Amino acid sequence: MHGVAIIGTGNAGRTHADSFLKDSRCSLRALCSRTLSKCEDIARGLDEERRKQITITDDWHTLLDRSDIDIVSIALPPALHEEAVCAFLRKGKHVLLEKPMGITCDEDDRMLEEARRSGAKLGLVFQNRYYRNIQRARKMLADGCFGRILSVDVVTHWFRGSNYHDLYWRGTWGNEGGGCLISQGVHQVDMLLWFMGGLPESITAIMANQCHTNSEAEDSGAAIMRFPSSAIATFSVSLSDMDEMQSFRFQCEKAAFTIPDWSVHVKKAQPNGFPEDDREEEERLQRIFDSIATDNKEGHDAAISRFIDAVESGKDPDATGEDGRRANEFISAFYMSAATGQTVPLPLKKDAPVYTKDGLIALMPRFHRKTISTESKAGVMTLGSAAR
């Protein structure tokens, strides 16, 4: 039985707790938040026996030497990730970290080095990888069903009201590390790099803040890029879309497909070169798609279950610390390009201004001055169209 501690019990931490509680291999041993009432809200929903096993604290340092805790789930604001992750790794605890990994690549480097030294597992929660349509499409791509990727268009449009950034750490370069790209778009960044097998060669980006006046950072942006395979990609991100669309459209040699709302299309050329639908091939690809077995669990439940699998098997997590760093490297290059108006090559060099937090803060524009900072906000967390 794995003893689990949840560090940070806001919206993400509550979701982590729910998923760990569903896994019979785990026992929730501790909840930690600077706002103790958030921990108490989680514990209140449990039966008496489970409540007795749980320590509630506002200081995660008191949990470092607990021998009954071997897995630590961290869902703190991004600026607090590095200190907590490294401290628990040094004690040999396995760490599952809410996205983004850190704010900048140098923070990620230090976490990865601590994981290497300790031998403990470090994984990221990228739950969008685990929805069934996405799992099936990626397997078909790996199996060569679609041929080589020619281009991909990524739309990561969310909606958050103007009061979303009232929470004290949101909408600041120093505490959140940016705006909608690092907070919401990071999921699609991870999946883009996961499907493409690595970083693009370069990024050219723009960004703006159109609707969120209590945020220093961007609420919209777009980029174009080319991958080493010669595939090109577009990436757009927004926090003002009332339809909330998260989508990928892959154009490949043999077919075009979309996820998470699955569709597949195939054309063949008429004698004059104009297209006609190839229904037979579309139906064949659809049969393959429908035949692919997937896990019963999706989203956070699957992400957390797979991390526990990795702890027990000794294998790497599905979403590793290296994956988390790679997503941050993409985001840092995006921000650097948008701030400077220049194309940024990848991989980033260590002397790039956005490689460190101080450099990022110095370079980035302040779209607005943050004037409202609250400790917590009422309401439920939504997960966007990927979870529909």
For the segment 12-29, the average pLDDT, to the nearest whole number, is 96
pLDDT of 378 reads 64
Q: What's the confidence (pLDDT) of residue 188?
A: 97
Give the residue among 293, 285, 268, 287 at the shortest CA–CA distance from 145. Answer: 285
Task: Please state which of the ranges 15-19, 269-273, 329-333, 377-381 shows the lowest mean pLDDT.
Answer: 377-381
Kindly list the distances between the CA atom of residue 243 and the CA atoms of 36, 81, 154, 156, 183, in Å, as whole numbers in the listed order. 35, 32, 15, 11, 18
Mean pLDDT of the chain: 95
Determine the topology of domain 129-295+326-387 in CATH.
Answer: Dihydrodipicolinate Reductase; domain 2 (3.30.360)
Beta partners for residue 250, in sequence order: 152, 257
CB atoms within 10 A of CB 361: 18
Fold of 2-128+299-318: Rossmann fold (3.40.50)
- Across the range 94-107, mean pLDDT stands at 98
The pLDDT of residue 376 = 67
Q: What is the pLDDT of residue 45?
A: 86
User: In the structure, what pLDDT confidence band is assigned to residue 388 with cuts at 50, 70 and 90?
Assistant: very low
pLDDT of amino acid 236: 98
Structure confidence at residue 385 (pLDDT):
56
pLDDT single digits (tens) 225-260: 999 999 999 999 999 999 999 999 999 999 999 999
Residues of the chain with pLDDT > 90: what percent?
Answer: 94
Closest by alpha carbon to 93, among 357, 386, 311? Answer: 311
Q: Where are the domains of the chain?
A: 2-128+299-318, 129-295+326-387
